[in-house]
Structure 1
Amino acid sequence: MSIVQIVTIIGSIPLFSLRTFLPAFLTALLLTYPEYFPGLEGVPAVSEEAFISRNWVLIVLGSLSLLEIIGDKNTDVRNLLKNAETYLKPIAFLAINLSLLDETSVEVLQEVQWAAFDPLWVVLAFGALMVHWLATLRRDFLDFLEDIDEDDNLFIGRITSWIEDSLVVFGFLLLIWTGIIMVILYATAIAFFVFIRKRYDKKLEEQKLKCFNCGEKNLPFAVKCVNCKKLQPQIYAIGIFGQKKEELIVNVEKHQLNLLSHRKCADCGNKLDSNRLFQNCHFCGNAHFQSPTVKEFIKNQDKKFYKIAGLSFLLGFVPVVGFLTSAVIANIHLFSPYRRYIPKGSSFLTKVFIKILTFLFFVVGIALGFIAAPVYIVLRYYIWKKKFQSRAGKSANFLSSAEKTTT
């Protein structure tokens, strides 16, 4: 194994941990058409007999890369694929690096000025494991971002996706020109990310409060102890991103409704993994939507709706900005609490319809925002509320049938 291959394997690890097909397509494009890359005009292409340089391979990898880039901008597609990607990425990494072991490919790579360092015999199996580990780390980071902005109301997920696309392209070019610098930069970035994540987990643990009765540690916005179920004397409010606010609650029921709107347990405040309405919290065993009930939850959302609809009318007098501001506020406080309990796949067509609706009302809102903003919010609220009520009704009927069958 040559130094070039060692640098290639190590340097491509972070690229494949970010994207499955884009690094593979860029590698195939480099070997087939090196003259299209800056500074590599005099480098010969691989033989036409090489598997990676065949036209159909380039077309397939290019198409998959394009679909990957577009799909990653969609919250539903990203959530659907993020678990499978942790296995797909190591496979793509192995497939591409094994193809680079062909003599024709190695000869081309030798002509490129890859930066070298003392040979380190890195086996492909280790590289694949590293890709899997980094892809898992990326998935956990996306889960963390999803907790902050689950429906991408603030475009955090979309911005992150574009940054990842840029990092893959930039990292690939940097790997060609100065491989060792690229490896150092990405290793530093990964180390920094791990440090930040551990620091966040430590801070979250430090925020937990000991139960006055049993001494168990609870989240700062927990209403009852996760262990002994005693009502906690000190309960902090929860922010719009699920973070602890530096203020104590005065109304327990209102706070529990706020926890439900974040899809958190109304008692212990922990995140619920499933989007089912009626379920038991796997931390404290509390029956979800038993108290407060679904009707109380909808009633609370209706109160917010009247206030935000009125606010949107006033904001609508401010051209463009007013409409966008009212739309973001409604997304966070009105629509997301319902959407969090609706399966991603079942709401796909609804989201497509809403995107068309959003575009049309945005055009109208440029001049008539005071009309467009309230109407837009009323229609969207009605759509998500009806879907939530329908899901609640089906869940209740299912539970009722199950109880009858049991008895």
Structure 2
Amino acid sequence: MSIVQIITIIGSIPLFSLRTFLPAFLTALLLTYPDYFPGLEDVPPVPEDAFISRNWVLIVLGSLSLLEIIGDKSTEVRNLLKNAETYLKPISFLAINLSLLDESSVDVLQEVQWAAFDPLWILLAFGTLFVHWLATLRKDFLDFLESIDEDDNLFIGKITSWIEDSLVLFGFLLLIWTGILMVILYATAITFFVFMRKRYNKKLEKQKLKCPACGEKNLPFAVKCRNCKQLQPQIYSIGIFGEKKKNLVSNIQKHQLNLISHRKCAECGNKLNSTRLFQNCHFCGNAHFQSPTVKEFIKYQDKKFYKLAGLSFLIGFVPVIGFLTSALMANIYLFSPYRRYISKGTSFLTKIFIKFITFLFFIIGIALGFIAAPAYIVLRYYIWKKKFTSRASKPHNFPSSVEKV
């Protein structure tokens, strides 16, 4: 294994942890057409008979990269591939470094100013495992962002995706020009992220409150202890992104309905993994939607709908901003509580239709926001409420231990 190959391995690790096919496509493009890259105009390309320079390889990798970039902007596609990516990325990384870097490719890379350091401690197996570890770390980070903005109402997912695309392109170019700097920058960023993650987990652990009856630690917005089911003396409110608020709960039933709207257990406050309406919490065993019931939850949402629809009429008189503000508030307070109980696959076509009507209402809302905003909220609320109530009557939403209500 040459020094060039070792530098390629160590430098491409963070790139492949972010994207599966884009780094591979950029590598193939560099070796086939180095004059496309700034500062490499005098570097000769690999021979035409080299595997990596074949047209079909470039077309396949380019097409897969484009599909990856587009698909990652969709919440449904991103969630579908999230678990598989932790294995696809190491495989892609290994294939590029074993198969695509043939002797003719290495000859070209020798002309590129890759920064070098001691290659003896760099192994390909280590690189593959490290890509898998970083990809898993990225998945955990995306899960955390999803817990904050599950339906991408604030476009956190899309913004993160565009940042990752930029990091791959920037990192690849930086690896060509000054590989050692690129490695240092990415290593620093990864270290900082791991540090912040541990700090966040410690903060969450500190927020937990001990049950006075059994000593079990519970979330600050838990109504009952997850272990002994004792009513907790201090129950903190939960924010719109699932965070702990400073004020204590005064109305327990309203607080439980708020927990349900975040797809959290109405008793222990932990996140429910399944989108089924009627399920048992895997932390405390509480039967979800037994109390409060589905009817009470819908009534709770309807009250918010009437208030927000009226408010949207008033703020709709403000051009553009009024409509956008109404749409954002409706996404967070009205639509997301229903969407969290609808599986991603079944809501895909619905979301495509909604995006189309959103665009139409936005055009109308530029001048007639006081009409477009309420109409938009009424139509979308009806669509998501209808899908939610239809799921409430389907048998697969009922575990054997829970009776249909």
Q: Which amino acid aligns with 2:167?
A: L
CA distance in 2, matches of 1:96, 1:118: 22
For 1:57, the equivalent position in structure 2 comes to 57
For 2:388, the equivalent position in structure 1 comes to 388
For 1:292, the equivalent position in structure 2 comes to 292
TM alignment of 1:45-124, pairs within 5 A: 45-124=45-124
TM alignment of 1:354-369, pairs within 5 A: 354-369=354-369
% of aligned pairs identical? 85
Query: Aligned in 2, Cα 1:400/1:176: closer, same or farther, shift over 3 Å?
Result: closer
Query: Aligned in 2, Cα 1:57/1:316: closer, same or farther, shift over 3 Å?
Result: same
Q: How far is 1:351 from its partner? A: 0.2
Contact 1:210–1:217 (8 Å) recurs in 2: yes
Q: How far is 1:122 from its partner? A: 1.9
Contact 1:20–1:85 (8 Å) recurs in 2: yes
How far does the alpha carbon of each residue in 1:51-77 deviate from its partner, in whole angstroms, 9 at most, with x for none?
111000000100110010010000000
For 2:278, the equivalent position in structure 1 comes to 278
The CA RMSD measured in Å over matched residues stands at 1.4
TM alignment of 1:163-178, pairs within 5 A: 163-178=163-178
Contact 2:277–2:398 (8 Å) recurs in 1: no
How far does the alpha carbon of each residue in 1:112-165 deviate from its partner, in whole angstroms, 9 at most, with x for none?
011112223422111111110000000000000000000000000000000000
Q: Which amino acid aligns with 2:268?
A: C
CA distance in 1, matches of 2:268, 2:400: 26
CA distance in 1, matches of 2:219, 2:187: 33
For 2:325, the equivalent position in structure 1 comes to 325
TM value normalised by structure 2: 0.98
Contact 1:100–1:106 (8 Å) recurs in 2: no
Q: Which amino acid aligns with 1:25?
A: F
* Aligned: 1:218 with 2:218: yes
Contact 1:265–1:286 (8 Å) recurs in 2: yes
Contact 2:145–2:156 (8 Å) recurs in 1: yes
Query: Aligned in 2, Cα 1:273/1:401: closer, same or farther, shift over 3 Å?
Result: closer
CA distance in 1, matches of 2:124, 2:341: 42
Identify unmatched segments of 5+ residues in structure 1: none
CA distance in 2, matches of 1:121, 1:389: 59
* Aligned: 1:150 with 2:116: no
Q: How far is 1:50 from its partner? A: 1.2
For 2:340, the equivalent position in structure 1 comes to 340
Query: Aligned in 2, Cα 1:215/1:313: closer, same or farther, shift over 3 Å?
Result: same
Count residues in correspondence: 404
Contact 1:256–1:267 (8 Å) recurs in 2: yes
TM value normalised by structure 1: 0.97
Secondary structure at 1:247's aligned position in 2?
strand
TM alignment of 1:248-263, pairs within 5 A: 248-263=248-263
CA distance in 1, matches of 2:44, 2:136: 37
Q: Which amino acid aligns with 2:49?
A: E
Identify unmatched segments of 5+ residues in structure 2: none
Query: Aligned in 2, Cα 1:401/1:293: closer, same or farther, shift over 3 Å?
Result: closer
Contact 1:338–1:384 (8 Å) recurs in 2: yes
Q: How far is 1:403 from its partner? A: 7.3
